[in-house]
Structure 1
Amino acid sequence: MSLSAVRAALSDLKNCQTDIGTGMDIVTDMAMDLAESQKAQGDPGIKAMEDIILECAKLDREINCFSHIVERVTSEVGREPPEAMFSLSARVKEQFAEKMASLSDTELENHNKVVAFKDSVANTLNQAKPGTVEDMEELDEDIAVTQSQVNFSCPLTQIEMVNPMRNKVCNHYYDEEAILGLIQTRHKQKKKCRCPVVGCGNTDVKQSDLILDQMLRRRIRNQKRDGNRM
């Protein structure tokens, strides 16, 4: 197998990851629909969807690990004699098996889309709980304040966010693809990533500080849908 064929296969795997992420967003939306109908946290439907999210997170992690190992091994092989290509497959399999053996399923709880799923369901359930008139008025006020504070446009792209991510440190929002791309670029430059929001003092934005806000994504989508109907 040539190195170009390996790179093409990796590209296909990354496309699969995009599809997996889209599927996880759809499952999260369905779980939020159940939560909005005031189902309990232990509803079997929501639990089944959480299991699906965890399985998808596991597959996403495996693809990430496999891709990183292939990239590392092919880089090593490229600096070795041509006959080293014959050992590429065996070396990848060995290193991948070792990596998988060192991982724990409990780590999947920290996957950004797993965290987003649980937060979205919990927040939706809390909003769906019946309360007093005063409670409902307070909730409406909180939602109005949140909507006024959050700009639907990404500070990096200046266009409407598709998958908004909230920074837990400074509470600013960015589109997922844009902020992760910026962090990766800064990492390659051996530099820290400053929050792109003007005036923000957060000079070290880390991927671990970011969480997908599925409720905001849902709100943006609904607003766009309502706008198209007008």
Structure 2
Amino acid sequence: MSSLQKLSDQVQETFSKSAANIFLYYDGEEQNKVIEEMKDIVEKNCFVNAKLTKANEVIERITELHSSDDNILKFKDILEEYKTEMVKIDPDVSRDINLVEFNRQVKDLLKDTENASDAQPLGDSDDDLQFTQDTVNVIDPFTKKRMTDPMKNKTCGHVYDRKSVNAMLKVNPRTRCPVVGCAHKEYISINNLESDIVLKTRLLKKTV
């Protein structure tokens, strides 16, 4: 994974956590207003990332095309070509994976908030479960302790605590999902882990 991609993932993680905090500390019209502002920020960030990616592609293409030219004599032409290509870049980010994922997370948070009145909060011991439409397990399968920062495995859908799964992968990169009965036998990959902001919000509210 490139450093640029890592930075992009970190920024996206920050957006997800911000959305969770908005649902924690805002409600009603104020919540809707702040969420819409966040959506706009995420969309603009996706646009900038898409434009940077396209710009790098332009640079690589022009560099390869003129690699055998006399750079001093051709510099002005190359610069003009670059400017012309850059003006054409106007990416459509409506289907950008990060924007789509953020909107999905917001939708899940909103749905969870609407269903909250139907759920009765339990205590905060390690064995607690919250029953809503599904059974939500808050126990990390590695440490058998209550999670604080849940990460969902996009491959199988199971959830682990961030600290424990990162520690396990450092010790053994060939770690499989430890959940009993998990049908997926692939090794857990950091690239396939994402914050479960709905569960994290529930944990912070102590509704599970």
Normalising by structure 1, what TM-score? 0.52
Equivalent position of 1:213 in the other structure: 196
CA RMSD, 1 decimal: 4.7
Gaps of 5+ in 2: 167-173
Q: Please tell me whether residue 73 in structure 1 is matched to residue 55 in structure 2.
A: no
Deviations along 1:102-153, one digit per CA (max 9) or x if unpaired, are x3748789621221122123213312x1x5xxx63799643685113x4488
Equivalent position of 1:190 in the other structure: none
Judged with a 3 Å threshold, the aligned counterparts in structure 2 of structure 1 residues 74 and 204 are, in CA distance, closer, same or farther, namely farther
8 A Cα contact 1:57 1:111, kept in partner:
no
Equivalent position of 2:112 in the other structure: 123
Q: Distance in 2 between matches of 1:114 and 1:161?
A: 23
1:132-171 alignment, distance < 5 Å: 136=120, 141-142=129-130, 146-148=137-139, 150-151=140-141, 164-167=151-154, 170-171=156-157
Deviations along 1:69-106, one digit per CA (max 9) or x if unpaired, are 01211111221223364122321221x12xx3xx3748
1:47-196 alignment, distance < 5 Å: 47-81=32-66, 82=71, 83=75, 85-86=78-79, 87-94=81-88, 96-97=89-90, 100=91, 103=92, 105=94, 111-127=100-116, 129=117, 131=118, 136=120, 141-142=129-130, 146-148=137-139, 150-151=140-141, 164-167=151-154, 170-173=156-159, 196=176
Judged with a 3 Å threshold, the aligned counterparts in structure 2 of structure 1 residues 64 and 45 are, in CA distance, closer, same or farther, namely same
Q: Sequence identity, in percent?
A: 11
In proportion to residue count, which structure has more helix? 1
SS at match of 1:79: helix
Count of aligned residue pairs for this structure pair: 172
8 A Cα contact 1:74 1:88, kept in partner:
yes
Gaps of 5+ in 1: 1-9, 36-42, 154-159, 180-193, 224-230
Normalising by structure 2, what TM-score? 0.57
Q: Give 1:28's match in structure 2, choosing from 1, 20, 27.
A: 20
